[in-house]
Structure 1
Amino acid sequence: MLDDVREGRIGAVVAWDLDRLHRRPIELEAFMALADDKRLALATVSGDIDLATAQGRLMARLKGSVAAHEIEHKRARQLRAAQQKAEAGRPQWRRAFGYLDDTHQPDPATAPLVREAYAAVLAGGSISDIARAWNGTGVHGLNGRPWSASTVSLFLRAPRNAGLRDHRGEIVGKGTWPGLVDEQTWRSAQAVLNAPGRAPGRKSVRKHLLTGVLQCGKPGCGGYLSGQWVMQAHKDAPRSHSITYACKTCRRCSVRAEHVEPLIYKVVAGRLARADAVDLLKAEVHDAAEAEALRVERLALLVRLDEIADERADGLLTGQQAQRATARITDKLEAIERRQQDTERLRVFDGLPLGKPEVVEAITELSPDRLRAVIDVLVEFVVAPVGKGGHVFHPERVAVNWR
């Protein structure tokens, strides 16, 4: 309409009332300037307003201000109503994965999948594994599209899944619908999902089984080996491709997957099959609420370290004072990390028949990400560079350092 006015195709505008033409005073001012420039006539059901006169402009501005006030008042009422609805625990959503259509009750077909997904996250599984599993069974989201790692991650972060009501990004209380998992499980999963180890880096999704697991044994390197496809030449057979793990830091250490992967499985399964493997579950922290409290305490200490740095920069602390304060907080952080590692061990070994022969088969059936999580809390593998006779694999090249 405004374009037609500017082009001269419209000479008059008819509206029910001015508040139906514009809701914001700034828009009205722009419209009046355009109407004055194009000598536009304006008529409303309540009566004509001549924008060419001072009286008409005053009436238009008064009506515009009243309309803006009504909008702000209405928005305030809506915000209060939304807040009250949230505090009462009533849902804002109608349909969600894991629940039956429009009932807010768990779906017998998909709710178990959601519970298994949270259990997998707590046990060290990856988001990509969950997405592949759901897509493999033909279970898609409400939009009918296959799951991706990002959509699964967003879904698992929803407080709704634990029967919690959130409002404007904050949890305000319990919801009136049953959760797909209990609150402790959901909060523990959030701690795992938000952990620094899940950011891009050595612990992120990896294509090959032992990428980021095998440490380079070359003195002074400290890098990790990554998997890559390479061409293998054989004396009496055609060339073939195979996976080799090589250090990209120093490029002086490598080992073929066909040699090292069976060795890793054997070492890990052998340790977990021993009778004393059940002792791995003897942790200091058994309570999920206490584990969450440790996480919060750790975050508070990290914030305090930043504050100390700022206070030192502002001259509020001497160098010696800042050093002493930092040392004390670092000691506390190390103690918390040791206790968190105990909690991590409980999650990672969950469901594995420790101390029993069946654990050998269970280890071979783990997903790559779950196996890496087990290795992460159990053992460190260091691969020495190839020496003389490098064409023959010697198991002694792989040092096993139990954590």
Structure 2
Amino acid sequence: MVMRSTNAGIAMHKGKETGKSEFPPIVSENEWRTAARIVKDPSRRTQFDARIKHMLAGLILCGQCEARMKISSRSQSASATNRNYYKCPTKGGGHAFQTAAPLEEFISDVVVSYLQQPGSLALFGAPAERDELERMTELQQQAVTLRERLDGYYEEAAKTGSPSPAALAKIESSIFAELEKIESQMSHARGAGILAGVAPDEIPQWWNQASVEKRRMVIEDRMVIHIDPVRKAAPRVFDKSRVRIDWKTYAV
């Protein structure tokens, strides 16, 4: 909503400004550009975007405190490529921290093996029931409403300076938390039918080609994953014994 250039009377074509819009502006160009810059600021979207871009962000739990682990990145030198890590957000020592790549590879192998077991595919193969589809639509609308509300706060902050940055940060945190709950509720409904028609021997290929979102649907629907902290004096290599997996069960 706030990103629409027509709000400021600016016409766009294929992402490029082409002049004045035929629609009258409802905010000044400066106000629109300020609001758009706030919305696109990656530092304000980290918590929510991480759930889409990374397979395990927000799904794995710290074995020490149960906090949901978030994605982080860093490079060991100025010329090195950034490496992604999953880390517990809790301050202080003794909490989980794990390089992303080997963990994601390990979890992928575990999921593929699980899905190839007799009966596992039946949990995902049934088409969604009508009430599930209606519930999905309701949840999607709730998510849209929350995002529009957040856009409204961004727009108001750009126009009037209120809410303040501190207040806006609290609003963001609250809305992102609500969006996370909705995403969790949507996961199981979306999982219905996701593997319909897929044979056990086709699972490896399906998984390799699946989007991050589809992989997350399967993981969140079937698994609870804890990552234990690295023990003192332990070698700095991936240790699958620190990964604890509990399988969810549903009546079929």
After TM superposition, the score normalised by the length of structure 1 is 0.34
Q: CA RMSD in A?
A: 3.7
- Distance of aligned partners of 1:359 and 1:228 in 2 relative to their CA distance in 1, 3 Å threshold: same
Q: 1:243 to 1:297 in 2, by over 3 A?
A: closer
Tell me what 2:108 maps to.
265
CA change 1:364–1:352 in 2 (3 A) is: farther
Q: Distance in 1 between matches of 2:204 and 2:230?
A: 30
Q: Distance in 2 between matches of 1:211 and 1:292?
A: 26
Give the Cα–Cα distance (whole angstroms) in 1 for the partners of residues 197 and 66 of structure 2.
31
Deviation at 1:231, TM superposition (A): 3.0
In 1, Cα distance between equivalents of 2:52 and 2:128: 31
| Matched-pair contact (CA < 8 Å) for 2:59–2:225 | yes
The one of 58, 81, 89 equivalent to 1:212 is 58
Of residues 288, 291, 297, the one that matches 2:132 is 291
Alpha-carbon distance, 1:292 to partner: 5.2
Larger relative contact order, structure 1 or 2 (CA cutoff 8 Å, min sep 6): 2
How big is each residue's C-alpha offset from its partner over 1:116-141, in whole Å with a ceiling of 9 and x where there is no partner? Answer: xxxxxxxxxxxxxxxxxxxxxxxxxx
Match of 1:230 in 2: 74
CA distance in 2, matches of 1:272, 1:224: 25
Q: Decide whether the 8 Å contact of 1:203 with 1:212 is kept in 2.
A: no
Does the CA contact (< 8 Å) of 1:291 and 1:340 recur in 2? no
1:352/1:362 contact within 8 Å kept: no
Q: CA deviation at 1:247?
A: 1.1
Instruction: Supply the AA of the counterpart residue of 2:99.
Output: R
Letter of the structure 2 residue corresponding to residue 373 of structure 1: M
Specify the alignment match of 1:397 in structure 2: 242
The unaligned stretches of length 5 or more in structure 1 are: 1-142, 147-198, 299-338
- Tell me by how many angstroms 1:395 deviates: 0.5
CA 1:203/1:269 → structure 2, altered by over 3 Å: closer, same or farther?
Answer: farther
Q: CA deviation at 1:294?
A: 5.9
Deviations 1:25-80 (A, max 9, x none): xxxxxxxxxxxxxxxxxxxxxxxxxxxxxxxxxxxxxxxxxxxxxxxxxxxxxxxx
Counting aligned pairs with the same residue, the percent is 21
How far apart, CA to CA, are the structure 1 residues paired with 2:47 and 2:80?
33
Shift of 1:213: 2.0
Q: Are the equivalent residues in 2 in contact too, given 1:216–1:247 (CA < 8 A)? A: yes
| Cα distance change, pair 291–387 in 1 and its aligned pair in 2 (3 A) | same
Give the greater-gyration-radius structure (CA).
1
Verify: 1:145 aligned to 2:10, yes or no. no
Which residue pairs with 1:182 in the alignment?
Answer: none
Q: Which runs of 5+ in 2 are unaligned?
A: 1-11, 16-44, 140-184
C-alpha distance in structure 2 between counterparts of 1:390 and 1:363, whole Å: 31
Could you tell me how far apart the structure 2 residues matched to 1:400 and 1:393 are? 16
Q: How does 1:296-375 map to 2 (within 5 A)?
A: 343-347=189-193, 349-351=194-196, 353=198, 355-375=199-219
Aligned length: 160
Aligned counterparts, 1:90-239, within 5 A: 144-145=13-14, 205-218=51-64, 221-232=65-76
